[in-house]
Amino acid sequence: MTARLTVIGGYLGAGKTTLLNGLLAAAGGSRIAVVVNDFGAVNIDRRLITSATDDTVELSNGCICCSLQDDTSAVMTRLAGRGDLDHVVVETSGVGDPAALRTWGNYPGFTPGATVVCADSTAAARLLRDEFVGDTVARQLTRADIVVLTKADLAGQAGLADARRRCREHAADARVVESAGGDVHLKDLLPAAPANPAMGEQAPGDSDLGEPAPVDLDLGEPAPGDPASAKPASADPAAAEPDAHGTVHRSASVTGAGPVDRSALLAALRELPVSVVRLKGVVRCADSPRARTVVQYAGGRLEVTTDGDWRDADTSGLVIIVAGGGRADAELRSVSDRLAEVLLG
């Protein structure tokens, strides 16, 4: 059996892991392997994948499309040779080019699936204008069969329309869907057999009545109007030309073993310089030592939530990503020094 290869891309903080979790939850009995690439040295996304899956491979400390090409090839070749997988889903790093991964869909053992690119509807228009990251965001969008406009409930109607228009400029042939509230409800995502059109309206287990309308994605086939011939046909991941994303973005990671003072952590997080485009992590707070406290910062918005029980094997870890190349180095250093102090108590 060949595995259908689905690629989830999109800029830092756009909601890729949320989408991935929705996809895994909707996967039923399909056998799925997941590849997660985190740009930072500590793979936070691996720890935020909530649904059980048969296999999860993490690729950290570099970008899956440029600096980790050897590791990526080894992983993808191994998965292609398995023969027992229905699906392989790759979550690219937030700076990565999804095209470098989608070409693997033509490799023996894989069937090409959709490339899904997440765009934060509250941030996409601004990011596309940004002198440092605009090119990276635009390029990701050009690769999309499906664009998911995330955080639609936070954007406001005018903001959402603007985000849709801006994304369309780079993804003219893609299907554009919205998701709201971070609770993307994905139905029939990964049909193991030919998709069943009768399952259209209401999937079993729909319990979110009254919530925003569920996003109904069928990742089974690439969107019409997006002929595969328009994309690189080579299975060589190096086929995509590089852009500057690897040098514009810098990351640092901090870890700590002991419980963290929540107010000290929040104080540090309230003073992030504008060059910080993404910060995420899982920490153990002294005031709730049995819980995993999840820190998410993207698009200028900070979210601190809890996600399940702290496990003995866990250590607190935060990844900070700045954009601006060498100009942001000093700020990255000062933010990571400050957070290291907080994590070390």
Rule CB under 5 A: which residues touch Zn ion? Answer: 63, 65-66, 96
- SS3 state of residue 169: helix
Q: Whole-number minimum distance, CB 103 to Zn ion, in Å? A: 14
State which residue, 66 or 171, has the beta carbon closest to Zn ion. Answer: 66
Q: 212 burial class (0-12, 13-18, 19+ CB within 10 angstroms)?
A: middle
Phi, psi of 250 (to 5 degrees): -125, 145
CA distance 243 to 95: 10
Q: Whole-number minimum distance, CB 269 to Zn ion, in Å? A: 27
Helix (H) or strand (E) holding 8: strand 3-10
Q: Whole-number minimum distance, CB 97 to Zn ion, in Å? A: 6
State which residue, 67 or 255, has the beta carbon closest to Zn ion. Answer: 67
State which residue, 138 or 260, has the beta carbon closest to Zn ion. Answer: 138
State which residue, 238 or 302, has the beta carbon closest to Zn ion. Answer: 238
CA distance 40 to 61: 5
Q: Whole-number minimum distance, CB 92 to Zn ion, in Å? A: 8
Residue closest to Zn ion (Cβ): 63
State which residue, 63 or 152, has the beta carbon closest to Zn ion. Answer: 63
Q: 159 burial class (0-12, 13-18, 19+ CB within 10 angstroms)?
A: middle
CA distance 56 to 59: 10
Q: Whole-number minimum distance, CB 116 to Zn ion, in Å? A: 18
User: Could you give the angle at the alpha carbon of 295 between the alpha carbons of 290 and 301, nearest 5°?
Assistant: 150
Pick from 251, 242, 241, 243: nearest CA to 323: 251
- SS3 state of residue 145: coil
Alpha carbon distances (Å) from 45 to 29, 60, 122, 129: 23, 10, 21, 27
Q: Whole-number minimum distance, CB 202 to Zn ion, in Å? A: 40
Q: Whole-number minimum distance, CB 241 to Zn ion, in Å? A: 11
State which residue, 32 or 63, has the beta carbon closest to Zn ion. Answer: 63
- Looking only at the bridges linking them, the beta strands covering 316-323 and 276-283 are antiparallel
State which residue, 92 or 275, has the beta carbon closest to Zn ion. Answer: 92
